[in-house]
């Protein structure tokens, strides 16, 4: 028996990367998982790999009416919704101040912050009625660190996401609802393809993998109701931000990790 037997989880951004790995991890622990994303095809492929525990609800999470509809259908079918993993996120290549366009900045805020508000606002009434629920938000270390690499709009949105998670715990903890914001360092997901400078395969292999973050989400979801984990950092050991600081300080750095 799994620790999440009888639980229902909704995962956004579930067609690839962290979202797909999280859906698999929660299903392996016994949860029924509902997968959302913009494109039906990738969602169905992930769901087929999981089996009967998975169902698909394509959705643009920047549309509050679409989000509300998904939650209403989940509640009607299952009678409950125990876990939200708000994992959807976006970035653009031309992200620095000199090239950032207003429409791209707006898309960054909508795709990384506003969508999480839509999801939280939609699931909270169900979770309040249950007096129980877990909300997990995939942020980034850009939600705590201000670096040029992430771009100002993405960084601002992720900072807002961290604040949102803490604000949820202040008001909703008395209702048995716990929010966790996960702040990964570099993860080898398709979002890397939006980097201004391409990331070579050998560097991607040294980063966090989607399954690493998914296992952390599974751990959070399995914690007893008395426990809230408000914020967690998870970073690669071979941390390229740290390596850049070593180089800037003129300190020696090896060419490869010691385990290679």
Who contacts 246 (Cβ-Cβ below 8 Å, separation ≥6)? 252, 253
What's residue 5's pLDDT? 98
Q: Give pLDDT tens digits for 155-209.
A: 999 999 999 999 999 999 999 999 999 999 999 988 788 777 778 899 999 999 9
What's residue 234's pLDDT? 98
Would 196 be classed as within a structural domain? yes
Q: Give pLDDT tens digits for 118-154.
A: 999 999 999 999 999 999 999 999 999 999 889 999 9
Residues 251-259 have a mean pLDDT of: 89
Handedness of CA 164, 167, 171, 175 (dihedral sign): positive
- Owning domain of residue 243: 8-248
Would 237 be classed as within a structural domain? yes
Catalytic residue among 154, 165, 182, 187: 154
What's residue 200's pLDDT? 87
Q: Give pLDDT tens digits for 77-100.
A: 999 999 999 999 988 899 999 999
Would 194 be classed as within a structural domain? yes
Q: Domain count of the chain?
A: 1
What's residue 165's pLDDT? 98
H or E, element range at 56: strand 54-56
What's residue 227's pLDDT? 98
Pairwise CA distance, residues 88 & 45, whole Å: 18
Residues 205-223 have a mean pLDDT of: 97
The CATH number of whichever domain residue 229 belongs to comes to 3.40.50.720
Would 2 be classed as within a structural domain? no
| Cα–Cα nearest to 1, from 29, 33, 32 | 29
Strands in 177-184's sheet, in edge-to-edge order, are: 54-56, 32-36, 8-12, 83-86, 133-138, 177-184, 231-234
Q: Give pLDDT tens digits for 223-236.
A: 999 999 999 999 99
Residue 23 CA, distance from chain mean position:
11
Q: Give pLDDT tens digits for 34-53.
A: 999 999 999 999 999 999 99
Is 219 an annotated catalytic residue? no
What's residue 249's pLDDT? 94
| Cα–Cα nearest to 13, from 54, 57, 52 | 57
Would 255 be classed as within a structural domain? no
Q: Is pLDDT above 90 for 108?
A: yes
Report the mean per-residue pLDDT for the chain. 95
Would 242 be classed as within a structural domain? yes
- Residue whose entry in the numeric block shows the structure tokens 């009967």: 52
């Amino acid at each position: 028996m799994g620790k999440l037997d009888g639980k229902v989880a909704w995962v956004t951004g579930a067609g690839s990367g962290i979202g797909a790995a999280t859906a698999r991890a929660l299903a392996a622990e016994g949860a029924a998982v509902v997968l959302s994303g913009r494109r039906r095809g990738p969602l169905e492929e992930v769901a087929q790999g999981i089996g009967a525990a998975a169902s698909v609800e394509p959705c643009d999470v920047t549309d509050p009416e679409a989000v509300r509809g998904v939650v209403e259908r989940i509640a009607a079918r299952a009678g409950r919704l125990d876990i939200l993993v708000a994992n959807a996120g976006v970035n653009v290549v031309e992200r620095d101040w000199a090239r950032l366009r207003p429409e791209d900045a707006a898309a960054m805020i909508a795709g990384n912050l506003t969508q999480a508000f839509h999801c939280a606002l939609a699931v909270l009434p169900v979770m309040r009625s249950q007096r129980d629920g877990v909300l997990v938000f995939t942020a980034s270390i850009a939600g705590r660190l201000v670096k040029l690499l992430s771009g100002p709009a993405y960084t601002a949105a992720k900072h807002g996401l961290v604040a949102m998670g803490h604000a949820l715990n202040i008001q909703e903890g008395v209702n048995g609802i716990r929010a966790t914001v996960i702040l990964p360092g570099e993860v080898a997901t398709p979002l890397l393809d939006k980097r201004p400078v391409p990331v070579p395969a050998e560097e991607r292999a040294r980063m966090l993998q989607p399954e690493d973050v998914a296992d952390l989400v599974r751990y959070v979801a399995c914690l007893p109701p008395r426990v809230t984990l408000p914020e967690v950092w998870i970073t690669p050991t071979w941390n390229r931000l740290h390596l850049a600081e070593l180089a800037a300080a003129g300190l020696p750095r090896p060419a490869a990790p010691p385990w290679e």
